[in-house]
Amino acid sequence: MVVADRGYNRPCELVEQAARGVCVVVRYNAHGMRVYDEAGQAIKVAQWLREQPEASVSRSVRIRSGQSYIEAHLHARRLPPEKANLARQEARERARKRGRTPDAETLTLSDWVLVLSTVPAAMLPTAAVMELYRTRWQVELLMKRLKSLLDFDCLRARRNSELADVYLY
């Protein structure tokens, strides 16, 4: 299982990892990747979220890359009001810097944390997916600490060398 941030929110990589038997939990970016229903129709994620009265929901989706697709689950947790307000404010600020106004879809998505998982929902329900994704941040903090205190990012090793493996371990 791999837990990753939204930078890995790419259909081709998710389909490739699934073919290798790797399950992925990744922050979902609705602007960067489409998801589809069982009939192959694109799901309008923001519209689906607007219809949800619960604070935590999930649904089965498909991810398509070329002619290949995989089954996945989109998990969503509504942010608390103060964090949602802050997220919408940040979205407005990003849009303003680009000379734009954020659309309704962007503002709706700002109210939620979206995580995509290729782990079957029966094995890993929404609450567990969200907790697992939160642990990713602790790893990020550790890496930042290693880079700043030990200059870990300046260590020299060639890719796939034994020394690189030592650094990794």
Residue 49 lies in a domain: yes
**With b meaning 16 or more CB within 10 Å and e meaning fewer, what string describes 5-14?**
ebebbbbeeb
Residue 107 lies in a domain: yes
Structure tokens at 152: 């870990």
- Which distant-in-sequence residues (6+ apart) come within 8 Å of 161 by Cβ? none
Full domain range(s) for residue 8: 2-136
- Amino acid present at 148: S
Residue 72, pLDDT score: 96
Q: Tell me which residue has tokens 């989109």.
A: 74
Task: Name the phi and psi angles at 8, rounded to 5.
Answer: -100, 20
Residue 40, pLDDT score: 92
Domain count, the chain: 1
Task: Name the phi and psi angles at 73, rounded to 5.
Answer: -135, 130
Residue 123 lies in a domain: yes
Cα 97 from chain centroid? Answer: 24
Residue 130 lies in a domain: yes
Residue 6, pLDDT score: 77
Residue 35, pLDDT score: 96
Residue 149 lies in a domain: no
Phi-psi region of 99 (alpha: psi -120 to 50; beta: other; left: phi over 0): left
Residue 146 lies in a domain: no
Which DSSP letter does residue 51 get?
Answer: T
SS (H, E, C) 1-30: CEEECHHHCCHHHHHHHHHCCCCEEEECCC
Residue 74 lies in a domain: yes
Q: What is the pLDDT along the chain (169 residues), one digit of tens a residue?
A: 888 877 788 899 899 999 999 999 999 998 889 999 999 999 999 999 999 999 999 999 999 998 889 999 999 999 999 999 999 999 999 999 999 999 999 999 999 999 999 998 888 889 999 998 888 777 778 777 877 877 766 666 667 777 776 766 6
Residues 111 and 87 sit within 8 Å (Cβ to Cβ): yes
Residue 150 lies in a domain: no
Q: Tell me which residue has tokens 């299982």.
A: 1
